[in-house]
Amino acid sequence: MKTMTLQEFQAACQAQASNREQIVFRCPMCGTMQSAQQLIAAGAGADFGAVERYLGFSCIGRFTGAESPRRDPDGRPCNWTLGGLLQTHRMEVVTTDGKHHPHFELATNVEAEMHRAALAGSSI
């Protein structure tokens, strides 16, 4: 299990993207890359404030009518959330009070750049 302090997590997010809507996370079940910008486009909320609670916690597929995770990831989103009984996350953010919060992993900077470049040509 990878753990990051809240300060380390915030620094990693800032290092990955200058705009918080474009920070990219990877769903632990289906492996899809996703951002707040995509959650907004999927109808999860009108702006960053509305989707922030889902970002890195619920797969975008929850808002697009996706199926449950498949045995083998196939590149399509799923309906997974980290709020369920099964704990499948690979990263936790540790807050100053010592509590561990499950979170999707951040995409690497290279993965995030590739993901944003791929989206630039789409309708999002």
Asked which of 57-66, 78-87, 88-97, 103-112 is least confident by mean pLDDT, the reply is 78-87
Element (H, E) at 34: strand 33-35
What angle, rounded to 10 degrees, do the helices at 6-16 and 109-120 form?
A: 50
Closest by Cα among 26, 14, 42, 35 to 119? 35
Q: pLDDT of 61-91, one tens digit each?
A: 999 999 999 888 888 999 999 987 777 788 9
Instruction: Give the chain's domain count.
Output: 1
Closest by Cα among 87, 85, 45, 86 to 62? 45
Which residue range(s) make up the domain with 44?
2-120
Element (H, E) at 7: helix 6-16
Longest C-alpha distance within the chain, in Å? 42
* pLDDT band with cut points at 50, 70 and 90 for residue 5: very high
Residue of higher predicted confidence among 89 and 17: 17
* pLDDT band with cut points at 50, 70 and 90 for residue 124: low
In this prediction the pTM is 0.89
Q: pLDDT of 38-56, one tens digit each?
A: 999 999 999 999 999 999 9
DSSP-H helix ranges across 1-124: 6-16, 36-41, 48-51, 109-120
